[in-house]
Structure formats: structure tokens, C-alpha cells
Amino acid sequence: MKADKKLDSLFWGGALLWAGLVFGGEAMGILPQVGDASAWSWVFLGAGIYALLLNLISFSSENYTNPSTWDWVWAGIFTIVGIGGFTALPISWPLIIILVGAAILGNALLARN
């Protein structure tokens, strides 16, 4: 298995495992209630933090290619959506739009022609 495919499999397997644990905890009534957070807030926050962790591992290891800008953006989006569920501030979607816009501009300005 190629190293990058292995990271993809690690992400999706871990994210689905986390989602199952969160929804199982909610079904059993043991999911911690923090603010207005739903089970989906926990799922997105966990997936976002996990994606950031895997990006850092990929970035710091010579066995994997560096994560693309979009790998970082997706990890940020998952994390922001998750955090948004824990706060009463409706700031998540504007932050996501800013993050995507900054990534597009950064790619355009730093692209090698």
C-alpha cells in the first residue's frame, strides 16, 4: 500500500470509528453535553483534530509526501464546524469562507509558473 493511500485509509477508518463511538455514546446517554454541542459537533471536532494530527505526521515524516493546501483546509473546516457547535457564536461559516478564500489566494500567489 502506498504511503499516501495508507494515510487516507488511516483518516477514514479513524474518523468512522470516532463517529461510531460518538453516536454510540449519544445513544447510551453518556455523551458529555457541552454548550449547544450535538453529536455532530463532536464528530466534526474529532475528525478535524485527527486530520490535523495526520497532516502534521505527514509533514514531519520523510515517508509521506507533504500534505497539500487542501488537506490543511479540510482539516480546518472540520475543526471549525466542530468548534462552532460548542459556541453560541455564529462565526463558523464566515471563518470557513475566509479559510477557503485564503487558500485559493495563497495557491494563486505562490504557484510556480
Q: Residue-wise pLDDT tens for the chain (113 aa)?
A: 566 788 889 999 999 999 999 999 999 999 988 888 899 999 999 999 999 999 999 888 887 888 888 888 899 989 988 888 888 667 778 888 888 898 888 888 877 65
| CB-CB contact of 24 with 40 (8 Å) | no
CA distance 59 to 69: 12
Predicted structure pTM score: 0.81
How far is residue 97's CA from residue 87's CA, in Å, rounded to a whole number? 18
Instruction: Count how many domains the chain has.
Output: 1
DSSP at 29:
T
Q: Nearest Cα to 48, choosing from 23, 88, 11?
A: 11
